[in-house]
Amino acid sequence: MTNRLRSGARPRTTTWGTWPPNLSAGLPVAAPRRRFWLGAAAATIALLLGGVTNAAASGAQPVVVTASLDGEIDSATEAYLGQAVGRAESERAAALVVLMNTPGGIATSMDDMVTSLLNARVPTIVYVTPAGARADSAGLFVAQAADVVAMAPGTNIGSAHPINSTGANIGGELEAKIVNDAVARIRDLASSHGRNADWCEQAVRQSVNVNVAQAVSLHVADLQASDLPSLLAAVDGRQLVRPHGGQTAFDTAGATVQDDPMPLQLRFLQLITDPNVAYVLLLLAIFGLLGELTVPGAILPGVVGGISAILALLAFSSLPINLAGALLVVFAFVLFVVDLKAPTHGVLTVGGIVSLVLGSAFLFDIGPVGGIALSPWLIGVAAIACAGLFGFVLGKAVSARRRPAYDMTVQAVPRPEDREEMS
């Protein structure tokens, strides 16, 4: 290949040298041109891909994430709802729908769930479903924290008066203090979402409860929906002014529903954080460890007691424990063990039974809304079991003390030479 110039033309001299380049001198000219055209092609492809991606994103169906809140409100459901809010935000979902059926639960977990819904970066809906479901006590607070409250036919909402851990009224100045705090909270949640704050206050002060038709007419709930598709169709295009965010609108028509089930580890945590299950684990731990100390080398009681103790600690770390109640339960077993060693003829065992019953009744602390308590039947069964077991062991110990002492020394057999000397 030769470098051809027009007749009479002279090569131009530039800052970088002579132009056109003298190819006979070995300077490559195809490589820069090839790089230029490759770069232009890459830029064109990138622009086309970006346009296709944007078009696909703009035409994609909206996504709605659902989370099922079925059962008492506790640390497991609190973590689950936070996880669901995070997933909805990461997927830029059109809405997060919480399918609710709860009698209430722990106040501290309720507070965290309310905070999660208020600060969610996606629109939130609480849907009380299926028929027969309810949003009572702490569930009312969580529902009023959502942008939209919907209810299925045959559901109810309300009954949020504070109670103690035994299910009774708190009483005294403490009750007035807790009720006023709960009223201020529920009124703020309802009024910030444009709902009936006066009725919500009555739900706290007087434990009033209404069905779905009354809730919609009183504007405690926003709408009634027979199922999830009808709910999403009803809220589509609805303008929404979030109390802690900007103005937006629901885009849920034809949305793809993605269920976010509770993980297995949270289901297990929810199981053991049931107050009755946690209490049984505590009793198994105490009986197992005492059995291992009483009969060293039995192995099985120690293994069962150790595993139960770890699970009980995990459960109680997520429950509002009353320190006085816990100390009474521990003191009861101390009295049982001491009575086996000291000749009190069962007096300490009786005291241990009384301490166990009182400690079990006050084992869990009260909260601003609702409370958790042990089943009275479980407390009675535990007291009878402890009385029977330690009464049986104590009876054996008393019987052993009353037996006459025997001289178990063995007389030495005299040697022959000793016998001769004696004779």
pLDDT along the chain (423 residues), means of 10: 47 49 48 60 61 47 92 91 94 94 89 94 95 94 95 94 63 78 93 94 93 96 94 90 73 89 90 89 86 76 89 86 87 81 74 88 66 78 82 64 57 60 58
Provide the pLDDT for residue 97.
96
Strands 156-158 and 209-211: antiparallel
- Secondary structure letter of residue 312 according to DSSP: H
Output the CA–CA distances (angstroms, integers) from residue 102 to 129, 134, 174, in the order listed. Answer: 10, 6, 26
Is residue 275 included in any domain, yes or no? Answer: yes
Is residue 306 included in any domain, yes or no? Answer: yes
Provide the pLDDT for residue 210.
96
Helix axes 75-90, 264-272, angle to 10 degrees: 160
* Amino acid sitting at position 367: G
Provide the pLDDT for residue 228.
94
User: Do 284 and 231 sit in the same domain of this protein?
Assistant: no
Is residue 25 included in any domain, yes or no? Answer: no
User: Do 172 and 83 sit in the same domain of this protein?
Assistant: yes
**Residues forming beta bridges with residue 70, ordered by sequence position:** 101
User: Do 183 and 199 sit in the same domain of this protein?
Assistant: yes
| Cα angle 179-185-191, degrees, rounded to a multiple of 5 | 125
User: Do 222 and 311 sit in the same domain of this protein?
Assistant: no
User: Do 146 and 215 sit in the same domain of this protein?
Assistant: yes
Provide the pLDDT for residue 52.
42
Is residue 286 included in any domain, yes or no? Answer: yes
Provide the pLDDT for residue 36.
58
User: Do 73 and 206 sit in the same domain of this protein?
Assistant: yes
Is residue 80 included in any domain, yes or no? Answer: yes
Provide the pLDDT for residue 254.
84
Show the domain range for 119: 60-262
Write down the residue that tokens 């009936």 correspond to.
196
Identify the domain boundary among 215, 246, 262: 262
> How many structural domains comprise the chain?
2
Identify the domain boundary among 221, 242, 262: 262
User: Do 252 and 284 sit in the same domain of this protein?
Assistant: no
Provide the pLDDT for residue 3.
47
Is residue 1 included in any domain, yes or no? Answer: no
Provide the pLDDT for residue 174.
72
* Amino acid sitting at position 125: I
CATH number of the domain bearing residue 178: 3.90.226.10
User: Do 81 and 193 sit in the same domain of this protein?
Assistant: yes
Distance separating alpha carbons of residues 82 and 111, to the nearest angstrom? 12
User: Do 187 and 173 sit in the same domain of this protein?
Assistant: yes
User: Do 341 and 366 sit in the same domain of this protein?
Assistant: yes
Is residue 16 included in any domain, yes or no? Answer: no
Q: Give me the phi and psi of 40, to 5 degrees please.
A: -65, -40
Strand stretches in 209-284, DSSP E: 209-211, 223-224, 239-241, 247-249, 256-259
Is residue 253 included in any domain, yes or no? Answer: yes
User: Do 74 and 217 sit in the same domain of this protein?
Assistant: yes
User: Do 158 and 184 sit in the same domain of this protein?
Assistant: yes
Identify the domain boundary among 262, 283, 301: 262
Evaluate whether 76 touches 84 at the Cβ level (below 8 Å): no
